[in-house]
Structure 1
Amino acid sequence: MNAIIALSLFGISNLFLGFLNNRKILLPATLVFILIALGLNFADWNHEYYWFNNMLKTNNLSVNFVTIILLSTFLVVAISRSFGDDDEHSHPAEYYAILLFSAVGAIMMVTFENLIMLFVGLEILSVSMYVLTGSDKRSLRSNEAALKYFLMGSFATGILLFGVALVYGATSSFDIHGIAQGVAKAKEQMGGAYGPLLYSGVILIMVGLLFKISAAPFHFWTPDVYDGAPSIFTAFMSTVVKTAGVAATYRILSISFPSVYGLWGNPLVYIVCATLIIGNITAVYQQSFKRMLAYSSISHAGYLLITVLAKRPETNSSLLFYSLAYAIATITAFAVLMVVSEAQAKNGKADESFEALNGLANNNPLLAFSLTISMLSLAGIPLTAGFFGKFFVFSDAFSNPSSLFKWILVIAILMSTVGIYYYFKPIIAAYMKKGEVAKIELSPLYKFILILTTTLTILLGLAPDLVKNIF
């Protein structure tokens, strides 16, 4: 858990670096800070520690989730190419510092042993994202997105906190293992029944967490917020925030409430199906590439929740592999979107439509190829990481003896087929549509990140066991 302390100190250090006249030092310094935190995280491998009065815990599962969070943060920071271009309105030191602080909140959400620490981590992450969403102060769209996110996020946090209070009232514990014991004791004392406090508390906690991962019907904020926020922060939200939210949801449901599976499992079935259908069907009708990625993010929350619902021994590794594959492909897509939309800007406004990608392959083969691989991975096409991510998730569902999961699988496979349609839109635009995107000059670091993420996507698609066995 030294990574939490290190990132907190590095975030403060970034603020002081902002006083320097040379802004160019901020990007490499932030990347070095993240790499140091990553090294400190790996130092906890094969060690089980309790931290901060037993409120946080590190083990191999948490180390893996933290690795995905820090890797995603590193990639997002590395593609933040124009933070400091506007001397008057941009504040790169503050942006990088807030990103590091938000990573601290995400780490707390995947390592919590106490619901109080879950709430603290969630608030650190959420407040950071409210600020970053509205960081483009001159954009009405960014301001509107920040206000919507703040208002709806505040309500969701309040619902979560109310649920925590009710669970505490039912079990007399904030500790996730103590809650599990309290649930068992309550069942014994009440002759196999559970009181309304516990029922209400579990449902309210689920609602608060499902809001954070954009699961239907708590997804309404996602398209507007993702579309209005600066693209670099949208990339962070759709990867780091989702990974942390899914990990937190899985952790509390699998540790604290396995004995009340029917209570949270039954509504989660309908939530998974609604998330898959709404996310995929609505994405088909989008004319904006960025907005399509927002609905894509909703649909992937549904796929991730399938394995949480299946509750199989392989769920840990399936969640981790899918989260890694999704994060790499999504960051690649946003990296291409950012440079192309800026190059195709109209009247000073970035063009984020599919038409902006027309003819991309003619002068920018690396961007077109990276975009293609990322879309194929998100669609779950074989020989990409996304294919095996879905394969592992679907296998977990198929292994569950309940016949209900066969119907969930049918819906998931049908929606994956729908996903192929809209994921191929940018590929067709880049290679087959008439248009001309002028050659875009990329920095060596930007090229390296695109090559790295594309290579990882292909490598994980060819040899998934390289990573699956580690998980």
Structure 2
Amino acid sequence: MSAIITLSLLAILVLYLGLFKMPKALLPVSLLGMVAAVCFELKWWNSEAVPLYSNMVLFDRFALAFSVLLILIAILIFILSKDYFDHISSHIAEYYALLIFSLTGALLVVSFYNLSMLFIGIEIMSVALYILVGIRKKDLASNEASLKYFLMGAFSTGFLLFGIALIYGASASFDLGGIKSYVEANGGNISPLFYAGILFLLIGLAFKVGAAPFHFWTPDVYDGSPILITSYMSTVVKTAAFGAFLRLFSLCFESLQSFWAPVLLIIIVLTLFIGNVSALVQQSFKRMLAYSSISHAGYMLFAILNIGDQANGAMLVYVTAYSIASVVAFAVLILVKRSEGSEHFEAFNGLGKTNPFLAFILTIAMLSLAGIPLTAGFVGKFLMFSGALSNFHVALVILAAINAAIGIFYYFHVIINMYFKEGKTLYIATNGNYKVVLVIAVLLTVLIGIYPEWLSSLI
């Protein structure tokens, strides 16, 4: 809880720094505050995990590992933000504060032990983003993205709340422990309200993670948002939502898997094919990454289907690999767009000759997203597929492998443009902040790809 309190106070402090006209202190203070939050989380690592504050939160190793990951990814994004918001407005303290408030909500989402806390965490995480998505006030695409995100967020929250109400009506408890006790005590005599509640929760969470057929808001929102905000949404927000998804279903609904697993199977297949086939025909690199995020949601849903101790580790590895590679991809996109003024694949033509460092870094990220061996992305997919095979979902793994092959095609599109097509790309100056983030991300991608055990065994 110390990390959540630290981040809340940090956001308020950042607002005061903006009030007293101290813009140069915003980024260093934000980074120091987030590092302090990481230290507080690690302090709890070997402590006995018990529900706290009237069973509202539980800081077990699952919650701590995901919380540390969320903060570290946010730190990388904050480092990239130097001079980024200056192009949008002279009042940048509010942007940093909103991101930190959203991060605070994300930590609540992965640490909840009560359904009301899940709802509160999701709203804190989302409300700040409704504003950040539309911060380019004169950009119609940004305004459209903000409105769509707000409407779809409210719509999906309705499903979530209705599911919570039905679960409470059947079990008389919001606590995950109480809900689990209800399932164990009633066995084959569970109320139909409870089953309906599970379906509504499944739909609500599928909206939040951008899984098909509830994905339709994702491409437009990701495409219309500022690139840095898109990076945050596709990594921190998606990771937090999947952490909550896995936590809820593993603690409460594992014994009822025969009921909800067929529905989840349909969602996974739709998500994989819609995400990959749609990404295949995109001409914009940013929009391709948006549809790619949908397809990766399908792979991450494997962990929900394969609930168990191994699924937790597999999910942690996958979201780590995906988040790191996505941060690299969006960072390079920011630099290329500044130079070329375009987000299309053609803007990357000739990058391998004029900017070999950026081209190499982006190549590693694309290889990881595609799941090529010796990268973290390959290990993530391998763990997901292994879990599915151990649960006899052979047909699903075959379909997933076909989709992975489709993914290789569109990820290699940008690699081909960088190394085998001529372009007018000028040399892109990369400042120290970007170099630090890109080098760290690539080293982690390779390290996890070669030695994944240290990460998968944490939880």
Question: Which of 235, 255, 260 is 1:259 aligned to?
Answer: 255
Q: Deviation digits for residues 290-317 of structure 1, max 9, x if unmatched? A: 0000011001111011121012331111
Aligned partner of residue 51 in structure 2, secondary structure:
strand
Three-state SS of the structure 1 residue aligned to 2:430 is coil
Partner SS for 2:312: helix
**1:53-452 alignment runs, 5 A limit:** 53-86=54-87, 89-187=89-187, 192-345=188-341, 351-400=342-391, 402=392, 405-452=393-440
Separation in 1, partners of 2:411, 2:240? 25
CA distance in 2: counterparts of 1:22 and 1:115, whole angstroms:
39
Report the aligned-residue RMSD: 1.3
Provide TM-score, normalisation by structure 1: 0.95
Q: Deviation at 1:364?
A: 1.4
Deviates more, 1:18-27 or 1:251-260: 18-27
Name the CA distance, whole Å, in 2 between partners of 1:184 and 1:416: 38
User: SS at the partner of 1:57?
Assistant: coil
Q: Distance in 2 between matches of 1:156 and 1:226?
A: 17
The 3-state SS of whatever aligns with 1:218 is coil
| Kept after mapping to 2: 8 A contact 1:171/1:179 | yes
Q: Equivalent residue for 1:470?
A: 458
Counterparts of 2:290 and 2:425, CA distance in 1: 24
Displacement of 1:90: 4.5
In the alignment, the residues of structure 1 paired with residue 433 and residue 20 of structure 2 have an alpha-carbon distance, to the nearest angstrom, of: 23
Counterpart of 2:28 in structure 1 is 28
Q: CA deviation at 1:91?
A: 2.9
1:32 CA drift (Å): 1.3
- Asked whether the 8 Å contact 1:275–1:301 carries over to 2, the reply is yes
Question: Gaps (5+ residues) in structure 1?
Answer: 346-350
Provide the rounded CA distance (Å) in 2 between the counterparts of 1:90 and 1:147.
24
Partner Cα distance (1:186, 1:225) in 2: 43
Distance 1:57 1:337 in 2: 38
5 Å-filtered alignment, 1:42-61, equals 42-47=42-47, 48-61=49-62
What is the CA-CA distance between 1:196 and the residue it aligns to?
Answer: 2.3
Alpha-carbon distance in structure 2 between the residues aligned to 1:226 and 1:288? 12
Provide Cα deviations, 1:171-211, integer angstroms capped at 9, x if missing partner.
Answer: 00000110111123344xxxx24322111111111111111
1:137 is paired with a residue whose SS is coil
- Measure the CA separation in 1 of the matches of 2:28 and 2:424: 33
Contact 1:176 1:255 in 2 (8 A): yes
1:315-354 deviations in Å (ceiling 9; x for gaps): 1110001111111000000000011011111xxxxx1100
Letter in 1 for 2:441: T
1:80 deviates by 1.2
Distance 1:81 1:287 in 2: 29
**Separation in 2, partners of 1:25, 1:356:** 34
Compute the TM-score of the two structures, normalised by the length of structure 2. Answer: 0.97
Structure 1: how far apart are the matches of 2:384 and 2:96? 34
CA distance in 1, matches of 2:69, 2:300: 15
Paired residue secondary structure (2:46): coil
State the match for 1:348 in structure 2. Answer: none
Q: Is the 8 A contact 1:307 1:319 kept in 2?
A: yes
Paired residue secondary structure (2:86)? coil
Count of paired positions: 458
Worse-superposed segment, 200-209 or 14-23: 14-23
Kindly provide the CA deviation profile for residues 37-96 of structure 1, in whole angstroms up to 9, marking residues without a partner as x.
111111110212433222001111111111111111111111113334247x34321111
1:430 Cα shift?
1.0
C-alpha distance in 2 between matches for 1:360 and 1:80: 23
